[in-house]
Structures are given as C-alpha cells and as structure tokens.
Chain A
Amino acid sequence: MTFLDELGRFLGSENVREQLGRNLLEHCYLALLPLVLGVVLAIGAGWLGRGRRRMRGALFVVGNVLYTIPSLALFLVIPGIIGTKITSSVNVVLALTIYTTALLVRPVLDALDNVPAHVVASATALGYRPARRFLAVELPLAVPVLAAGVRVASVSNISLVSVGALIGTGGLGVLFTDGFQRTYFAPIVVGIVLTVLLALVVDVLLVALRRVLTPWDRTAPTRAEVTAA
C-alpha cells in the first residue's frame, strides 16, 4: 500500500475528519489565547520597565530564565502549583502565557524605546497624564516594532502546543502521539501540514492587523522614493 493510499483512507473517514476539526480548533484556542494574554502582560511589563534601567534589567533576567524552562517540565509542574488536573488545558494556556510574556518583554521595551523622545516630550507638554500618554501615544507608535515580536511569538506558541499532547491536553499534537504509537504516518503528516498552515494563516492575519493599526506607517516615503526624488 502506498503512502498516498494510506493518507486517502485516513482522511476518508468521517470520524477522523471531525476529530481533525476539533483538534484544529483546540490548537487555535491553546495557542492564541496565551498569545493575547502574553501581549497584554508584556505591555504591562513594558509600562513598568520603560525608562527605568534596573527594572528593565530585572525584567530581562526573569524573562530569559522563564523562557529557558523546558515546556514539558512546565506543563507538569504547573498542576502541582495551582492544583489543576494534569490533563487540564489551563496548564498549557498558563505555560504558554508565561513563554509569550517572556518572549515579548524585550520587543515591547525595544518598541517603546523606539518611540522618538521628542514626541513623548511634546505629549507631556501638551498635558497628557502618564497613563493616557502611554496608551494614546507611546503604545500606538510602538506597534510596528512590537508586531515583529508578536509574529515570532505566535509561531512559537503554535509549535509548542503540540508538546501538550504528550500529557493529553489535545490540539494537533494528538496526531503525532497517535501516529507514533501506531507507527502510522498519515496522521503525522496531516498534523505537520495543518500546524504549518495554521501558523501561516495566523501570520497573515497578524500582518493584516498591523497594517490596520498603523495606517500612518505607510505614508512615509520609502528609500526608493526618496532616491528617485
């Protein structure tokens, strides 16, 4: 039996297709909810760390240490700390939120540093209070640099969710554990293809979101235009 026949038979089953849909949805939820939470938390960390050199250094150290903990270990340790069941999806969401936050702390601070100081100073001089200035001026201007970091984090999350399958939390990773146990290649290949597709689609959506959030960023003349003029 060729591999294509095997693949055809695997995908031909109604049950399998339904299961794939569920896995895909689960995977989205497990990867993207932590992404959103992580972005919010990292922005909060950015608010604390911007303009304070010591706080900034401390945030980087904590971020790096957290990001170094192996994901499987984190999935197993979290239930022990917060008392969830080992197969609970909360564990994965929490672990990935920690990774996302750790991964994004540096891009967020870099993005905020990238906002021109004279723009921030003029916002202050016009009468913005610090919190409103952060949300209305600094954060929107940080989006272009921040967006690059978020794209990396989304890909990282989508790939890490698969590891959760080892402890039975669902997602597309189930296809790998399943295929491995049965020495059956079809689900493994389908799992890889779906994971990559999901990562691509999310990336395209993030690029679109960045464009919507930064209409002003397209108006600056590009280098080619400047040279031509």
Chain B
Amino acid sequence: MADLDPVIHAQARLRITASLATLGDGESIAFPRLQELLDMTAGNLSTHLRKLEEADYVVVSKTHQGRVPVTYLELTRAGRRAFEDYTESLRRLLGESTERDARAHAEVPPTG
C-alpha cells in the first residue's frame, strides 16, 4: 500500500475527493451542498478540506451572493490527477487491469 496517496487514503477525504471528482471540470460546489451530499458535520468537513487544500488538491474560493458569504470548493488539476492516480493504484493492487496497464501491454512486444 506504499504507493497509495496518504492525503486521499482516509475514508473522509476519499469521500470528499470522490464527490468533487464527480463534478465536471471547472465546476465547484458550495460548502453546505457538499456537506449535505457527504452527510458530515461542518467541523469535520472543514478539517479534512484544510488537509486537501494544504496538499494543493482542493481550491477554496470565498465569494458573496448578495450579502451572504459563500464558500465554493473544487478539485485543482493536481487534485483531479492525484485522484485518478489513486483510483488506478487501488485497481492495480486489487489485480484489476487498468487502461494504463492495457496501454503498457500494447507497447511491449510479446517475448518468446
């Protein structure tokens, strides 16, 4: 399990990252909506988001809708990439062949 990204490989952060990765590229989600989708407490969500932000996987943008402050969250390019790599590592550990494996096999000529 040495190559599983420790920033993502914890249940809460894995769920947060997976949820954010479901959104399209360039889409962000308001903190309360994300909280609702994850069914987490605001404090718990904030703690884990901070760790993802420190790793540069999540970007937090604060804005206003009228006078109400709203926080939007979105995966950075590095975050999306890290999540894809993490998913692929999991599949490889579980012995599932991945697209990348298939490409690697295709590039290596068969021996013998």
Task: Say whether A and B bind each other.
Answer: no
